[in-house]
Amino acid sequence: MAAILPPAMLGILGGGQLGRMFVTAAKRMGYRVTVLDPDANAPAAEFADVHLCAAFDDAEALATLARSCAAVTTEFENVNADAMRLLAKTTRVSPSGDCVAIAQDRIAEKSWINKAGLPTAPYLAIESVEDIQVELSPYLPGILKTARLGYDGKGQVRVKTADEARAAYANLGGQACVLEKMLDLKLEVSAIVTRTSPAQVAVFPVSENIHKNGILDESIVPARIAPKLAACAQQYAKQLAEALDYVGVLAVEFFVLGDDSLVVNEIAPRPHNSGHYTIDACVTDQYQQQVRAMCGLLPGKTDLLSPVVMVNLLGDVWGEDGSEPNWAVLMEAPNAHLHSYGKKQARPGRKMAHYCVLAANVDDALEQARALKDTL
């Protein structure tokens, strides 16, 4: 299929911060962008050419998107996969609705990861109450996770005993879940891969991710792991993209265990919070890759230009009256880059902004990044 070139109109389902950064990348290249998002104040809408302010399954809005856009993508993994399949009948859609559907469901996701030959934590798929009436000791102590709609640690319950696991399952209303063995994590890392059509694959440098309360707090690149282990994470990400016949940007989260082995945690069918650093520190960033993949272009080079640390800023850093953090010191730091998402309302736990600090090595970048956070 012919490549889609600027100033073609591109469409995106979802207008959050990932959509905003996608729009900025696409607009810089000269594309026009239509955003579908039900929120009148969606962060991506500010920069989009067209904002379809409607539900993600709104038939009329989807028809407009299909008619007016040369290609459509998503920034939001809980987008209706059927809506994506419908759009694919009349316009180019990537990633496919089928791939998005897999990433939306922890049961399908884990079985695909295993099918691709990659390890997951030991887990039990629980689709009905009978499924949890088995010997649970291989998965305990564990985490019960809802199969669908979990993010930032939501929809998860930590359980120690079989009784606790069964009670927690009942408490979640009997919806489909996975019970996953709690692993002793040395580190968490992620690898973000871009696969295009015609099939070519490029992986970004591996990011080391530090979470607080189940939410990403800091990403450190290069990850402080052996080069062999980083190469293995990149290889796993490629293998997964191949197995899924994936087109687009795919984020793969990993656990590093005490024996330096890797376990795949989960995947996201889109750019990822842990890849925001690519905007400031890589030859091509993850949003440019998303544009390239959806337009039938080959991936750009992913080389890291500088060690970098990304820090997420949640609504907790905003004042109770909604006042902005004190940006003065951060804005004057010559090696820091602020990205604020323009969200109207700050709430605790809500991702509002991030910044990246570039330095000669990750230790310096981390020290400076943390010192800057203390000034906000």
In the complex, the smallest distance separating the C-beta of residue 88 from ligand ADP, rounded to whole angstroms, is: 26
77 binds ligand ADP (CB under 6 A): no
Q: Which candidate, 298, 274, 290, 295, places its Cα nearest to that of 356?
A: 274
* Cis ω before 141 (30° cut-off from 0): yes
Using the minimum distance from each CB to ligand ADP, give the nearer residue, 53 or 185. Answer: 185
Interface residue with ligand ADP among 214, 227, 319, 348 (CB under 6 A) is 214
The Cα–Cα gap between 302 and 189 comes to 17
Q: Does 264 bind ligand ADP (CB under 6 A)?
A: no
Which residue, 8 or 182, has its beta carbon nearer to ligand ADP? 182
Q: Residue 145 CB, nearest distance to ligand ADP (Å)?
A: 6
Cα separation, 303 vs 204, in Å, equals: 7
Whose CB is nearest to ligand ADP?
A: 183
Amino acid at the residue 139: Y
Stretch that binds ligand ADP, among 181-189, 193-201, 280-288, 318-326 (CB under 6 A): 181-189
Residue with Cβ nearer ligand ADP (125 or 185): 185
Q: Does 73 bind ligand ADP (CB under 6 A)?
A: no
Nearer Cβ to ligand ADP, position 36 or 189?
A: 189
* Contact between 185 and ligand ADP per CB under 6 A: yes
Q: What angle do CA 13, 16, 18 make, to 5 degrees?
A: 85
193 Cβ neighbours under 8 A, 6+ residues apart? 201, 202, 203, 204, 234, 237, 238, 240, 241, 249, 250, 252
List binders of ligand ADP among 107-166 (CB under 6 A).
121, 143, 150-153
**β-strands 248-257, 262-268 pairing:** antiparallel
Instruction: State the nearest-atom distance from the C-beta of 356 to ligand ADP, in Å.
Output: 21
Cα–Cα nearest to 125, from 176, 164, 165, 173 = 176
Which CB sits closer to ligand ADP, 31 or 236?
A: 236
Q: Kindly tell me which residue out of 37, 77, 109, 188 binds ligand ADP, with binding defined by CB under 6 A.
A: 188
Q: How many helices (H) and strands (E) does the chain have?
A: 11, 18
Residue numbering of the annotated binding site for ATP: 106, 145, 150-156, 180-183, 188, 211, 265-266
Neighbour-count burial for 61-70, b at 16+ CB within 10 Å, e otherwise: bbebbbebbb
**Where on the chain is the footprint of ligand ADP (CB under 6 A)?**
121, 143, 150-153, 180-183, 185, 188, 211, 214, 253, 265-266
